[in-house]
Amino acid sequence: MSSLTSALPPAEGMGPRVARWGLYLILLLFAAYYLLPLVVMLSTSFKSLDEIRTGSLLSLPRDISTDAWIYAWTRACIGADCRGMAPYFMNSLVIVIPAVIISTLFGALNGYALTKWRFRGANVVFAMILFGSFLPSQVMLLPMAQTLGFLGLAGSAGGLILVHVVYGLAFTTLFFRNYYVSIPDDLVKAATIDGAGFFQIFTKIMVPLSLPIMVVTIIWQFTQIWNDFLFGASFAAGGAQPVTVALNNLVNTTTGVKQYNVDMAAAMIAGLPTLVVYALAGKYFIRGLTAGSVKG
């Protein structure tokens, strides 16, 4: 991937140089716009309430205090429950980890079956799995709530795991299918003639080849499920709520003195896992973004 203009000779003279400075200036201004909320969140979370009252929106903390973070993690009240964000953070982990593993596994198997063992109607099956992901979740919310109640999973982590696995299948299947399409069919054909079976080929040939797409899928699913709010708010009750729902409750609590630094620290806590993943493996996340949304 090289710049489109790299074929052109470098610009010379005074005018172009000024234009270049302008270009960098605009790009940096945009960077500031994108960074603003994060900077405000971070710097406010390290301030004391006094400093927030006297200081301004953009001023950096004079004395860095981690009190708000500790308070948010251990003692902040989410509704009537004053155990901080920690238990809700754990709830999210309990939901996210199995949901990511299961949906990725099914996605890989589906992708493999749909490309290397094509049966009649495979394309229709794939199209139907995929099409569902475009539809607004609102048309499925109420029946889902009823069904979870019927299955005895209402308000539990198990219910949310089920929901995230089912609605994640479209994307995981899409990722693996598009990836496996480019792996030569001859590989599978040869292995069958050598006597390898369906699952043997999957574990011995396909899985070792799938590392990059596996990373993309896991990061994508992790980010989506961790950030989910709608399903969490609709299906999780009280103590089983994921961290995003807890954060929203905390921020919208109107009783007592508003502790903005605690709100911001809680927001950072809720956002940190996906932010860290993005910082470490942003490349894979972006691949998921473009793969997940461009190609139908």
Beta bridge partners of 236: 155
Beta carbon of residue 10, minimum distance to another protein (angstroms, whole number): 8
Q: Which CB atom, from 94 or from 122, has the smaller least distance to another protein?
A: 122
Beta carbon of residue 94, minimum distance to another protein (angstroms, whole number): 18
Q: Which CB atom, from 157 or from 173, has the smaller least distance to another protein?
A: 173
Q: Which CB atom, from 80 or from 119, has the smaller least distance to another protein?
A: 119
Beta carbon of residue 83, minimum distance to another protein (angstroms, whole number): 19
Residues with Cβ < 8 Å from 55, sequence gap 6 or more?
47, 62
> The tokens of 227 are what?
């950030």
HSE-CB at 231 with a 13 A cutoff on CA atoms is: 26
CB atoms inside a 10 Å sphere around CB 116: 21
Question: In angstroms, what CA-CA distances link 14 with 10, 17, 21, 23, 80?
Answer: 13, 5, 11, 14, 65
Question: In angstroms, what CA-CA distances link 166 with 23, 80, 160, 232, 290?
Answer: 46, 32, 10, 15, 21
Beta carbon of residue 63, minimum distance to another protein (angstroms, whole number): 20
Residue that is written with structure tokens 């198997």 in the block: 109
Beta carbon of residue 134, minimum distance to another protein (angstroms, whole number): 5
Q: Which CB atom, from 66 or from 131, has the smaller least distance to another protein?
A: 131
Beta carbon of residue 7, minimum distance to another protein (angstroms, whole number): 4
SS3 category, 296: coil
DSSP 124-148: HHHHHHHHGGGS-THHHHHHHHHHH
Beta carbon of residue 6, minimum distance to another protein (angstroms, whole number): 6
Q: Which CB atom, from 80 or from 193, has the smaller least distance to another protein?
A: 193
SS3 category, 37: helix
Q: Which CB atom, from 44 or from 91, has the smaller least distance to another protein?
A: 44
CA 54 centroid distance within chain: 36
Beta carbon of residue 64, minimum distance to another protein (angstroms, whole number): 18
CB atoms inside a 10 Å sphere around CB 89: 20
Question: In angstroms, what CA-CA distances link 291 with 45, 55, 217, 286?
Answer: 35, 44, 10, 8
Q: Which CB atom, from 27 or from 97, has the smaller least distance to another protein?
A: 27
Q: Which CB atom, from 216 or from 245, has the smaller least distance to another protein?
A: 245
